[in-house]
Amino acid sequence: MTATLLRHCADDTATARLGAELGRALRARGLPPLRIALHGELGAGKTTLVRAVLRELGVRGRIKSPSYALVEPYSLEKLDLELKRSVQITAYHIDLYRFSSPDEWLDAGLGDVLDGKSLCFVEWPERAPGLPTADLDIRITPRGDSREVSLHSGSPAGEAVIDGWAYAQAHAG
């Protein structure tokens, strides 16, 4: 079974609000290690969404687009219930736009980053057909000045994030 969440974003501000909501949903699930794939044409709002998620998760300072560096790492604090204290984890924002061959992501050393043990946001995953399956698949489709955003789960962990998010929305008040 897969979970799906569809949202309309009227502008960049609404896209950033959606990103903040996703950040809260990830935090509510304990910041699980997830691969999050982001699809959409140039300028669709992928980086805007990721920046808002990272801000909501506590990243301060400049959040750069990974277009030129390929990967931008960010340190996050996560509450470890077993250790009963905060621990540092790394979130990775990856941009594969410049890739041209299916194995280039492996040649770039991204196999270690995308091993399922980190929180990874991957823009342009279709440029690397051999990537591991995403836990959350986000598609951003421009509609004039607005955007349609669809989130689909690709794993039980992704489904839990979407289901928890939908539950929190339904019971917000």
Q: What residue type is 84 in one-letter code?
A: K
- Other C-beta atoms closer than 10 Å to the C-beta of 15 total 24
What pTM did the predictor assign?
A: 0.90
The predicted pLDDT at position 153 comes to 95
* 117: in domain: yes
* Phi, psi values for residue 25, rounded to 5°: -65, -40
How many residues does this entry show for the chain?
173
**Angle, helix 12-28 to helix 156-170, in steps of 10 degrees:** 110
* Of 1, 19, 3, nearest in space to 149 by CA: 19
Q: Quick check: is 38 in a domain?
A: yes
Position 81 scores a pLDDT of 59
Domain membership flag for residue 42: yes
State the pLDDT at residue 49. Answer: 95
Please report the pLDDT score of residue 15 as a whole number. Answer: 94
Q: Considering just the CA atoms, what is the radius of gyration of the chain in Å?
A: 15
Per-residue pLDDT, 110 = 78
3-state secondary structure of 29: coil
pLDDT in tens, the chain (173 residues): 688 889 999 999 999 999 999 999 999 888 889 999 999 999 899 999 999 999 999 999 888 887 767 889 998 887 665 656 777 888 999 998 888 776 777 777 777 888 888 899 999 999 888 888 999 999 999 998 899 999 999 999 999 999 998 888 888 76
| Cβ atoms of residues 50 and 19 within 8 Å | yes
Number of domains the chain is built from: 1
Which CATH number do you get for residue 56? 3.40.50.300
Domain assignment of residue 159, yes or no:
yes
User: Is 93 among the domain residues?
Assistant: yes
User: Residue 80 corresponds to which tokens in the numbers above?
Assistant: 């470890």
Domain residue limits at 60: 4-168
Residue 173: inside a domain: no
pLDDT of the residue at 130: 82
Q: Looking at the domain assignment, is residue 158 inside a domain?
A: yes
Would 52 be classed as within a structural domain? yes
Partners of residue 143 on adjacent β-strands: 146
Q: How far apart are CA 33 and CA 91, in angstroms?
A: 9
| Structure confidence at residue 1 (pLDDT) | 63
pLDDT at 116: 81
Q: What CA–CA distance (Å, rounded) separates 143 from 38?
A: 17
**Of the candidates 49, 48, 61, 43, the residue with the CA atom closest to the CA atom of residue 25:** 49
